Structure 1
Amino acid sequence: MRTTIPTIDIHTHYVPRGWPELSQVAGGPGPWPWLRVTGERDAMLMLGETEFRPLLSNAWSADDRLEQMDADGVDIQVVSPTPLFFSYANDPEQAIKVSRIFNDLALDICEPARGRLIPFAQVPLQDTDAACRELDRCIDNGHRGVEIGNHVGDKDLDDEGIVAFLQHCADRDVPVFVHPWDMPNSPRLDRWMAQWLVSMPAETHLSILSLILGGGFDRLPHSLRICFAHGGGSFPYWVGRMDNAWHGRPDLIAKSEHPPSHYLDRFSVDSVVFREDALQLLVSTMGTEGVMLGSDYPYPLGESPSGHLIRSAGFLSEEQRRALLGGNALRFLGMEEATQPEPEALVRSAS
């Protein structure tokens, strides 16, 4: 019988060790992602002829992930797609086929872990009806939630079609994880990984703001469980500025029923912010219940070991630490009353 809260990492990614050639399965022009396997434990994720990211076997091997989780003191990982697979810019019929391929492969990757790896699906978000159908198929087949990108082309999360999809997630009691992707590119952003260091935080900020100022949260039920990656990007730092703009320029800003700070209890963020003072600001802004452990495993810009910042943060009480390490994630995942298949793996103290 479980007596302690499991430690849950809600932000990790997977890449399968190969998949069908998408140009033949989905059709249409590329470039399509593919995997150039360079060794038993090494590969290069490719986009057409361009090298996108080097990978190790922990991207696809349940055994490798479990070994690292045990070393880090993590009981459960939420395993989400790598955003490169989303295919939002493609024809919806192509994106449907791509989503089905990767969603089924995600189940294969997670199955050997017997409940310690929880798969999140991807959907063809550019087509609301198709996205809802694929979500239903995936949830019925064993996925617990869905990861979406923070925009579809020029459509932000307050777009009617995306709001309708989020409403469907709320109706089905499915948690949503929002990850930035398809960041703006320019000569100024090509240096120093600036797309990842500047554009990613800005994209996440914009996606939260779109749900607020675009009236998305006003149209969606409070039952929607939605979490944003990378500590909410730059959003938590600028809540005061956004409130000031909402009150000072209502002719341009006040499209929402309330100022931005009113909506802080409508979403969660992960903890991948790396510094204790940044985590303290995050908890102060979002509240203890609004922050969950996330590492961005297995990528090099993630936190390693997972959970180190939360475990070492001196300002957290032990109750707060347990909430951030796992208690909040249990609610987000709808697992508070669930019986876990591997209870001996879940009795590690979250403190």
Structure 2
Amino acid sequence: MLKIDSHTHILPEKLPDWARKFGYGDFIHLDHHRSGAARMMRGSQFFREINENAWNPEVRIQEYHRYRTQVQVACTIPVMFSYWAKPLDCLDISQYLNDHIASLIYRYPKNYLGLATIPMQDTDLAIQELERCREIGLQGIQIGSNINDLNLHEERFFPIFEACASLEMAVLIHPWNMMGEKSMQRYWLPWLVGMPAETARAVASLIFGGIFERLPALRVNFAHAGGSFLPTIGRLQHGFECRPDLVAIDNPVAPKNYLGRFWVDSVTHDPLLLEYVLKLQGSMRVTLGSDYPFPLGDLEIGSFIDTMNLDTKQKEDIFHNAALAWLNLQKERFE
């Protein structure tokens, strides 16, 4: 059965010294301190150690073969978004990363699809890069759950979403710049608690801000099964009903009406939670995802889904049909 992993991250093996080039900032660079591994450095501070599967496309294909998964939707690591940088500098970084992913698609057309990163802090430049990435073969964009602390419903971002809809470019929203990160460093809480909350923040912002209502053709996928949005949909719905004066101020449509109007990936780490997500979303709105190659992801690429009591159609939807619909692609591309 064709399997498409809708949520994976990749970097070029070598990154420019952007801090030296631009003359400021703690931009990420790589310290290849031993064979097959590198330290991601944020300025002089250690950020994360990565292995060869974070940049070597053939190693990745071999590892995916173990889990009978043929296709990876590749996008950059969110720390590379660089929304804090000067817009033209962020554009420079985005173009470098996007050209790398485009080259993967060109070299391995049966194994890789790609999502771009764009300078969301500048609407015109973001749309410019979005249009370029469509021309070079990428299928959509990955953006953060907020942009320099601004929620995604802000009017300055609407032209970008509008361009995505008109250009038929998919959107993956990934948590980043987590709320309260500086005050909860202990126990890895920004990743364990902050990320699910960030994704819920993004979903709620787009719903309550009326973005889905204004752009019904916009195809959005939310990482990590939508974070804490779906488990707290009852609370959101109740808030909408009991305090419309606070909640329904920009969109009169209830949040439950949007279930099944967007996609989420399958990264739940929990079959019971995935069953719940499927009941709310339907199998055509749940894409196989892994967050590969990071340890907090599902590095067995959805193996637990095969153990669940799902019929063949549901599995086919999760493994490829939902992703094909989100990306506006035909299965024949991979045959």
TM-score strictly above 0.5: yes
Q: Tell me the equivalent position of 2:240.
A: 246
More RCO (CA 8 Å, sep 6+): 1
Letter in 1 for 2:27: W
Partner Cα separation in structure 2 for residue 132 and residue 156 of structure 1? 18
Partner Cα separation in structure 1 for residue 180 and residue 202 of structure 2? 18
Letter in 2 for 1:13: H
**RMSD of equivalent CA atoms:** 1.4
Q: Tell me the equivalent position of 2:315.
A: 321
Q: Tell me the equivalent position of 1:334.
A: 328
Deviations along 1:275-305, one digit per CA (max 9) or x if unpaired, are 1111011111112221110000000101121
Partner Cα separation in structure 2 for residue 300 and residue 186 of structure 1? 20
Q: Tell me the equivalent position of 1:349.
A: none
Contact persistence 1:149–1:180 (CA under 8 A) = yes
Of 75, 84, 109, the match for 1:114? 109
Partner Cα separation in structure 1 for residue 318 and residue 181 of structure 2? 37
The percent identity for this pair of structures is: 34
Contact persistence 2:8–2:290 (CA under 8 A) = yes
Partner Cα separation in structure 2 for residue 215 and residue 233 of structure 1? 20
Q: Could you state the TM-score of these two structures normalised by the residue count of structure 2?
A: 0.96
1:1-351 matches, within 5 Å, as 6-25=2-21, 27-186=22-181, 188-220=183-215, 222-255=216-249, 256-314=251-309, 316-336=310-330, 338-340=332-334, 343=335
Contact persistence 1:61–1:109 (CA under 8 A) = no
Name the count of aligned residue pairs: 334
Contact persistence 2:27–2:43 (CA under 8 A) = yes
Contact persistence 1:310–1:325 (CA under 8 A) = no
CA deviation after TM superposition for structure 1 residue 196, in Å: 0.2
Structure 1 spans left out of the alignment, 5+ residues: 344-351
Partner Cα separation in structure 2 for residue 16 and residue 54 of structure 1? 15
Partner Cα separation in structure 1 for residue 100 and residue 4 of structure 2? 22
Bigger Cα displacement from structure 2, 197-206 vs 250-259: 250-259
Partner Cα separation in structure 2 for residue 339 and residue 104 of structure 1? 21
Partner Cα separation in structure 1 for residue 163 and residue 331 of structure 2? 23
Contact persistence 1:66–1:113 (CA under 8 A) = no
Partner Cα separation in structure 1 for residue 148 and residue 182 of structure 2? 20
CA deviation after TM superposition for structure 1 residue 246, in Å: 0.8
Letter in 2 for 1:161: R
Bigger Cα displacement from structure 2, 182-191 vs 7-16: 182-191
